[in-house]
Amino acid sequence: MPKELDMNKYARMFVSESGECLRIMNDSLLELENDPGNKELIDKLFRSAHTIKGMAGMMGYKAVQDTAHEIENVLGAIRDGHLQPTGKISEALFEGFDALDVMVASVEKGEPPQERPAVVQGLITVLPVRSEEEPVEAGSVPATEKAAVGRVEKGDKHGKKPTKETVTVVVKLGRRCSLPSARATVIIKELAKSSEVVESNPTEADIEKEAVFEELSVVLLPGDKLQEALKRVVAMSDVEHLLVGPTDVSRDKWQKMGRQDQASASVTAEVAHVQTVKVGMDKLDDLLDNVGELVIGRSRLLQKASTRDDYELLEISALIDKLTSDIQSRVLGIRMIPLDMVMSRFPRMVRDIAKNEGKEVELVVESGNIELDRTVADKIAEPMVHLLRNCVDHGIETVEERTKIGKRPKGLIRIVASKQQDHVLIEVSDDGKGIDFESVKHAAVAKGVMNASQAESASGKDLIDLLFRAGFSTKTVVTDVSGRGVGLDVVKRSVEELGGSIMVNSSKGAGTTFSLWLPFTLAIIDAMLIGIHDQTYAVPMGTIVETHKYEMSEVKLIRSREVVQLRGEVLPLIRMREFFGLEKVEKDSINTLVVQSRDRRAALEVDELIGHQQIVVKSLDQRLRRVRGISGGTILGSGKIALILDVESIIGG
C-alpha cells in the first residue's frame, strides 16, 4: 500500500511559510499607506499574496486561495494605475490581510479555514468596472494579474513576436522547489523590471493552475540592465542555474549561469546565499535543557578534577569545559531572535486603535539590532500591547486638542531599545498629555483605595504604583481599549515574572515614558558565587561593578544608615546577614560586592567571595517567587542548590 502523506506536517509548513508572508504583507501595507506610489512595495505584496494562494491551492484551502486571489486583483489594479491604495482601497486590503491571518491561525489550531464572503465581496467591490471587451471567466487570470506578471502567452499586447532582437532565458528550478508557480511569477516579474517580456513557457494559464514544471522559458526584448536582473535570478534560493542566449541561436550555444560562475556573466559581486532550516521551538527547548544539564555536569567534573593530582584528568576536563562552552554559546545563539520580529506587529495595532479613537498617531521603532531569547521575546509581546494601547488611549490627545495647545496634529509614540550591561532597556514614550495625578487621586478616593487625606499627601511614586494595581483605572467609561484596570497590572506582572522591572516618568503636558528592564536570556548566565553564613548564593555578573574590602573604620553613618565611600562616591552599605535575618558577626574588615541596578549602586557585605561560574537558572516555585532578594536558583557542581540574588529588590528595598 502506498504510504499516506502526513498532512499535519505540511499544514505546519503552510502555517510557517504563510506567517512569514503575512508579516511581509503587514509591514508593506503600512508603508504603502504612507507611500502610495512605491512600486516595490506593491511587488512585495503581490509576491506574498501569490505565494499564500499557491500554497493554499496545494493544501486545498479554498477560502484562503479565494481571498488571496482577490487581494492580488486589487494589487494588480493598483499596479496598473487604475486604483490608489488610500481610503476604502487601503481598508479593503487590510481587511483581506486580517482575513488571511485569521484563516492561517485556524489551520494552526487544526481547524479548516472558514470562508469570509463579506471580505471577498469587499475586495471585489473596490475593483474598477471592466468593459465588455475584457470578460473575465471563472478561474481565469484577471487582466490586472496579467499586467502584474508583465507578459502574454503568444506575443505581447502590442502584437510583438519573438524576433532576431529577442533573447531567451531558460531557468532550471531545483528539485526541492516547493512552490514552482510562485517562484516562476517572481522570476518573470524580476526580468520584467529590466526588459520587455514577450512570452513564456509554461504559459500564464499553466502557472495559474499550478502546473508541474522543472524549467521556465522566458522570451525577452533585452534592456540595458538585463545582466543585473539575471544575477538576481541566479541568486534566488530555488534556482539551480539558467541559460541565456539569442532566440534564433541553437540552445547548446547559449551561456550558462550558476552560482559558481556568476563572474563569467559580468557579475562583479557575489551574492551570499545562506541555507536555513526551520526547527520547532519545543526541540530547541529540549536541546537547551540538555545543555543546561551538560553545564552542571561540567562544573562537577571541573570541581572533582581540581581536587586530584591527575594531569590527564585535568586535560580532559579542560577540553570538556571548552567544548561545553562552545555548544552552550551556539545553542543560546540559535534561540536568539531579533527584537524587530516582536515589534513588527505593533504599527498596525497602533494604527487601528488610533483610527477607532479618532486620533492621528505615528509609531517610531528603534530596536538597534538587539536580539532576545525567544522565551523573553514571546513573553514581552503582551505587556508591549498593553503599554501601546495605554499610550494611544490615555496619553495621545485628539487632533483638535493638540492643535489648540500648539502641538503638531499627529501624536508620536517611540519604542527605543538599547543594551544595558546584561539587560535590554525598552523605553515606550509618547508626547501626549502625561499622567494627570489629580485624576489618579480622584479615582483612588472613588474606588476606596485611599481616603481624601491620604490621596492629598500621596507622593508621585505612590500614585504611579496605583496605576499598576489590578482593577484600577482613571477611565469612567469602559471601552474596547481601556477602563477595566487590567492593562498596566498585566504589564507589571509579566515583566516581573521575567526577572525584569519597570519604571515610569511622566511630565504633565509633555508625555509619559515607560522603561522596561529585561534580561537577554532566562537560561544560562555568568555569576559570582558568594558565601553568607553557611549558604552559597549566586549574583549575576551583569549587576556587579567590582569587589572591595573595607576596614570597619571606613564605615560611616549618615542619617542612621551605614555607608562607605568608593573613590569619592558614597554608597549605602547593605549587610546581607541582616538582610536575611541572620546573626550579626563582628569583624575588623568586611568583603563587599559593589553592585548596580539601573542608576543605583550599593555595597553588599558578604562573608566570602567564592569565584566566577556559569550557572543554569532554575525558576522558583510559585510560593517562593515573591521572596524579597531572591530571583531563582541553580544547581552547583557539588550537587548543592544555590539561590540567585535579586539585586534590584535588594537595592530598591
Catalytic residues: 50, 72, 390
- Whether residue 425 contacts residue 417, with contact meaning beta carbons closer than 8 Å, is answered with yes
- C-alpha cell belonging to residue 183: 517562484
- Whether residue 196 contacts residue 223, with contact meaning beta carbons closer than 8 Å, is answered with yes
Strand partners, 170: 217, 243
- Overall residue count recorded for the chain in this entry: 653
Question: How far is CA 57 from its chain centroid?
Answer: 29
- C-alpha cell belonging to residue 357: 479613537
Q: How far apart are the first and last CA of the chain?
A: 70
**How far apart, in whole angstroms, are the C-alpha atoms of residue 508 and residue 183?**
54
Task: Provide the edge-to-edge strand list for the sheet that holds 600-606.
Answer: 544-551, 589-597, 600-606, 569-575, 561-566, 556-558
What is the DSSP secondary-structure string of 293-335? HHHHHHHHHHHHHHTS--HHHHHHHHHHHHHHHHHHHHHHHHH
Per DSSP, the three-state class of 364 is strand
Residue 646: name the closest of 614, 611, 617 by CA.
617
**How far apart, in whole angstroms, are the C-alpha atoms of residue 602 and residue 548?**
12
Long-range contacts of 582-589 (CB under 8 A, 24+ apart): 582/532, 582/533, 587/552, 588/551, 588/552, 589/549, 589/550, 589/551, 589/552
Amino acid identity of residue 9, one-letter, is K
**How far apart, in whole angstroms, are the C-alpha atoms of residue 183 and residue 51?**
8
CB 209: neighbour CB atoms within 10 A? 14
Strand partners, 596: 601
CB 123: neighbour CB atoms within 10 A? 23
Query: What contacts 432, CB < 8 A, 6 or more positions away?
Result: 391, 394, 395, 396, 397, 411, 511, 512
**Burial, 448: exposed, middle or buried (Cβ in 10 Å; 0-12, 13-18, 19+)?**
exposed
Half-sphere CA count of 422, side-chain side, radius 13 A: 21
CB 431: neighbour CB atoms within 10 A? 22
- C-alpha cell belonging to residue 468: 499598576
Residue 395 is given by DSSP the state I
Residue 487: name the closest of 377, 343, 346, 389 by CA.
389
